[in-house]
């Protein structure tokens, strides 16, 4: 999966799961604020990441993710490590 | 049986008449199993059946007992669990007085102290209710 596919996939499942307009998901925007995530929502995020990308995430992983750009970088690294 | 009826109060915060689990049959990192006999005297009994709130509470208390048992096994002591959400709830049927409910919990995901579980209770192998819950342990 290349970066463009990662971005397209991410926008689709995040907008569905957290009921936000896809157009609000922009690279430099803050992920937590844009999706209005509370601590319980992060479990849902873990679930949809695993469903769509096939890897598990931990609380530690999210410490380095602030923006959507960070998220795409994180997914890219994880998928590369799995290949 | 890993927690008998007479010891269940050591693992869950609820007290009579709100206890909706008799005993914990199994508990490990992937899930829990409990049993509960339906009594006419139960506060959620109505017209010959145990009603939906009791069945939902039964799933939540099975989680409480299971997490409590695991916590004690790991020398952490029982935790207090809070229901963060209930989703995908389906009610199939209600159990009669005198029957025994078997409840199975599958821990499907977790993040830190927040757990996503799938719960289902059965009576004579007939599915009663099933749902997903988010449980936060404090």
For residue B24, give the CATH number of its domain. Answer: 3.10.129.10
Residue B59 banded pLDDT, cuts 50, 70, 90 = very high
B74-90 residue pLDDT tens: 888 767 889 999 999 99
Q: What total of structural domains would you count in chain B?
A: 1
- pLDDT at residue A55 in the model: 95
pTM exceeds 0.90 for this model:
no
What ipTM, to 2 d.p.? 0.75
Q: What is the interface size between A and B, counted as CB pairs within 8 Å?
A: 28
- Percentage of chain B surpassing pLDDT 90? 82
Looking at the DSSP assignment, which residues form a beta bridge with residue B23?
B35
Chain B residue numbers touching A57 (CB-CB < 8 A): 111
Domain that holds residue B80: 5-137
Convert the pLDDT of each residue in A9-18 to its tens digit. Answer: 999 999 999 9
Which of B108, B109, B114 is the closest to A40 by Cβ? B114
Percentage of residues in chain A having pLDDT higher than 70:
100
The structural domains of chain A, ordered by start, are 3-82 (1.10.1200.10)
8 A C-beta contact, residue B137 and residue B70: no
Contacts of A47 in chain B (CB under 8 A): 108-109, 116
């Amino acid at each position: 999966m290349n970066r463009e596919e990662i971005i397209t996939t991410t926008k689709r499942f995040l907008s569905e799961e957290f009921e936000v307009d896809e157009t609000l998901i922009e690279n430099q925007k803050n992920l937590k604020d844009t999706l209005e995530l509370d601590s319980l929502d992060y479990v849902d995020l873990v679930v949809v990441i695993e469903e769509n990308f096939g890897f598990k995430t931990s609380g530690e992983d999210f410490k380095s993710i602030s923006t959507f750009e960070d998220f795409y970088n994180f997914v890219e690294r994880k998928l590369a490590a799995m290949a | 049986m890993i927690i008998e009826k007479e010891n269940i109060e050591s693992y869950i915060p609820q007290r009579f008449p709100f206890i909706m689990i008799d005993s914990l049959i199994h508990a490990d990192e992937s899930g829990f199993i409990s049993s509960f006999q339906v009594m006419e005297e139960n506060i959620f009994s109505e017209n010959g059946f145990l009603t939906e709130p009791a069945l939902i509470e039964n799933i939540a208390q099975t989680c409480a007992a299971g997490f409590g048992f695991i916590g004690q096994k790991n020398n952490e002591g029982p935790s207090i669990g809070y229901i963060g959400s209930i989703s995908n709830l389906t009610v199939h049927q209600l159990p009669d007085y005198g029957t025994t409910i078997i409840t199975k919990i599958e821990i499907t995901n977790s993040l830190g102290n927040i757990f996503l579980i799938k719960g289902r209770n059965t009576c004579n192998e007939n599915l009663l209710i099933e749902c997903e819950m988010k449980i936060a342990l404090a």
